[in-house]
Amino acid sequence: MRRPHTPSPSLPTERGRDIHATVTPPYSHGLQSAARAGPVGMLVKRSFSIAGHRTSVALEPEFWEALEQCARKREKPLAALVLEVDAERTPARPLASALRVRALREAVNRQETENACG
């Protein structure tokens, strides 16, 4: 069965090309967030179309949840955040690795902000 795709508008990048994303949301018995899609440590795969090329990214649900929170904080779709990370990464760094690093940096920044304000 084919999963429905949520198209995202093309976004300009610093490389001077447009990136188009198509996100295949995780599904498990209907509508569930990435954090509830499977047991802890289980990888959740999401598919994207970047510059016309189909790619899949498999991350732990906790990383997807952290990235979703980051996207909500910036008031943008998750696909736009993924495209931003893809545009910023070096060719030597895999997309999954770059997404994990972004999630970690966001968590560290959030913790530092909470400590400074508290």
The residue ranking higher by pLDDT, 57 or 52, is 57
Interval 22-38: pLDDT, tens: 555 554 333 344 445 55
- Distances in Å between the alpha carbon of 54 and those of 33, 47, 50, 59? 22, 7, 6, 17
The residue ranking higher by pLDDT, 116 or 24, is 116
Angstrom distance (rounded) from CA 40 to CA 44: 10
Percent of the chain with pLDDT over 70: 64
- Distances in Å between the alpha carbon of 53 and those of 12, 34, 48? 16, 23, 8
- Please count the CA atoms within 13 angstroms of the CA of 113 that sit on its side-chain side: 6
Element (H, E) at 93: none
Q: What is the pLDDT of residue 113?
A: 82
Residue spans of the domains in the chain: they are 6-117
Average pLDDT over residues 29-57: 70
pTM score, whole prediction: 0.66
Average pLDDT over residues 54-73: 94
Give residues with Cβ within 8 angstroms of 86, minimum separation 6.
19, 50, 95, 98
User: Which tokens sit at 54?
Assistant: 């189909």
